[in-house]
Structure 1
Amino acid sequence: MHIMEGFLPVEHAVGWSLAALPFVAYGVHSVNQRIKQQPELRMLLGVAAAFSFVLSALKLPSVTGSSSHPTGTGLGAILFGPTAMAPIGLVVLLFQALLLAHGGLTTLGANLFSLAIVGPFVAAGVFRAARACSASLTISVFLAASLANLMTYLTTAGQLALAFPDPAGGFIAAFAKFAGIFAITQIPLAITEGLLTVLIFNALLRFNPQELKQLKLGAGPKVQT
């Protein structure tokens, strides 16, 4: 998921950075407004940020010779909305690039777009759709986190395919190649991330029920599993 330093052509690196910038700016505004209105939610926001940092910092070897990562953005997107994860993802990816050699500064925009923009919007959309269909919180959280993980990697595959199209098959063939490299490890990893997100969410339900009720999760007036 972390495209390494210097791997993308300059025009692609700049383009993805410009595409991510409005989401980061609006995300900073939305987070500030939420914290001003509900300062008691700072702890939950910190949990969401820490969860994303820890999970996305894990570097797991892939049988295809690549490596795979959890994303950890689904939890924050469910709790605070997808835009809140853009500035959080920027901080997470910046620290990882500087301290852990995951990703890089030139590819920060591309990694941010896949991890902290596409993934969270998918998570929030899937969660709301599942709750609108009367799915339980457990099922809704699992689907949101798992599919956000998969879509993050599909976005990365698309970014790489745009930058390096196949000489014969173009974008489609390149996308199939990159997506196939990730799929072998990413599908079970997405399922695992979904289950882990459910565990953390259930712990928050147990220890922070009032804060979760303030967030008005789900279709009904009560937070219930």
Structure 2
Amino acid sequence: MHIAEGILPPIQCAAWYAASAPFVVHGARQVIKEVKERPENRLLLATAGAFTFLLSSIKLPSVTGSSSHPTGTGAGAVIFKPPVMAFMGTVVLIFQALLLAHGGITTLGANAFSMAIVGPWVGYAFYKLTMKVGGPSWLAVFLCMVFADLSTYCVTSIQLALAFPDPSSGMAGAAAKFLSIFAVSQVPLAIMEGFLGILLFRFLVKVAAPQLDSLGLDLGIAKEHAHV
């Protein structure tokens, strides 16, 4: 869902930067706080960032200067909470724009808002809701990953619709068209990402159980992941 350089009008680029900035600044403070309070979790933090970078670097060309790909932000949201991913996801997007020509600097605010802010919060909401109603932890992780991905592409569709409204049906019609086109590639990608999330947690339980415990993740839940 990276929107490429030069696709959005300058005024919209500025607006998305303004909307994203408070979340990213707050996320940076949370990352600093996390590192100071639990320095032993730095490797786990790096793992969450690397997972997001690798998955969101899988670039499948899509519509109007954008691309389809997994996001990977749901995993970090479960482990460190969404504010941390606002900063981590933005850092990932900067590296991808500069090193891979994936996304852009002018569109960084828009891409950060969809992938690093909305995605983690929506995914985390599904994780917490599933756990609250007594659902299995593997399902909570699966839904978090899936809806962090899908909500990102929904926001990207709205962003593109604002920039390219349909001549007859306006922004609503354009958003519906973008959503329908994205769905062809994004729905299966989101499902795949959900299963990858389960595998990731299964691995982390084996190698980083104390760190997960220090972050408040129930080890009983973690063991359940390991048996999926």
TM-score range, shorter chain: over 0.9
Take 1:9 and 1:157, find their aligned partners in 2: how far apart are those partners?
A: 15
Partner of 2:75: 75
Partner of 1:164: 164
Take 1:34 and 1:107, find their aligned partners in 2: how far apart are those partners?
A: 28
**What are the residue-to-residue correspondences of 1:58-207 with 2, within 5 Å?**
58-61=58-61, 67-207=67-207
Take 1:210 and 1:99, find their aligned partners in 2: how far apart are those partners?
A: 35
**Secondary structure of the structure 1 residue equivalent to 2:134:** coil
**TM-score (structure 2 length as normaliser):** 0.93
Q: Is the 8 A contact 2:94 2:105 kept in 1?
A: yes
Take 2:91 and 2:73, find their aligned partners in 1: how far apart are those partners?
A: 13
Partner of 2:30: 30
Take 2:65 and 2:38, find their aligned partners in 1: how far apart are those partners?
A: 46
Q: Is the 8 A contact 1:216 1:223 kept in 2?
A: no
1:133-189 deviation digits (Å, cap 9, x = unpaired): 111211100000001100000000011111221111111100001111100010000
Take 2:140 and 2:6, find their aligned partners in 1: how far apart are those partners?
A: 38
Q: Is the 8 A contact 2:23 2:83 kept in 1?
A: yes
**TM-score (structure 1 length as normaliser):** 0.94
RMSD: 1.9
For 1:13, give the aligned amino acid: C
For 2:55, give the aligned amino acid: L
Q: Is the 8 A contact 1:63 1:184 kept in 2?
A: no
Q: Which 4+ runs in 1 deviate beyond 2 A?
A: 60-67, 220-224
Cα separation, partners in 2 of 1:194 and 1:156, compared to 1, 3 Å: same
How far is the alpha carbon of 1:63 from its aligned partner? 10
Alignment pair present for 1:217 and 2:217:
yes
How far is the alpha carbon of 1:221 from its aligned partner? 7.6
Cα separation, partners in 2 of 1:78 and 1:222, compared to 1, 3 Å: closer
**Secondary structure of the structure 1 residue equivalent to 2:6:** coil
Q: Is the 8 A contact 1:66 1:181 kept in 2?
A: no
How far is the alpha carbon of 1:217 from its aligned partner? 2.6
Take 1:14 and 1:213, find their aligned partners in 2: how far apart are those partners?
A: 40
How far is the alpha carbon of 1:119 from its aligned partner? 0.3
Quick one: percent identity of the two aligned structures?
51
Take 1:49 and 1:139, find their aligned partners in 2: how far apart are those partners?
A: 22
Take 1:72 and 1:199, find their aligned partners in 2: how far apart are those partners?
A: 13
**84-93 vs 46-55, greater mean Cα deviation:** 84-93
For 2:127, give the aligned amino acid: F
Take 1:50 and 1:139, find their aligned partners in 2: how far apart are those partners?
A: 23
How far is the alpha carbon of 1:216 from its aligned partner? 1.4
Take 2:91 and 2:108, find their aligned partners in 1: how far apart are those partners?
A: 10
Cα separation, partners in 2 of 1:167 and 1:95, compared to 1, 3 Å: same
Q: Where does structure 1 lack aligned partners over 5 or more consecutive residues?
A: none
How far is the alpha carbon of 1:43 from its aligned partner? 1.0
How far is the alpha carbon of 1:27 from its aligned partner? 0.3
Partner of 1:2: 2
Cα separation, partners in 2 of 1:66 and 1:107, compared to 1, 3 Å: closer
Partner of 2:48: 48
Cα separation, partners in 2 of 1:10 and 1:67, compared to 1, 3 Å: closer
Q: Is the 8 A contact 1:145 1:197 kept in 2?
A: yes
Take 2:147 and 2:191, find their aligned partners in 1: how far apart are those partners?
A: 9
Q: Is the 8 A contact 1:27 1:87 kept in 2?
A: yes
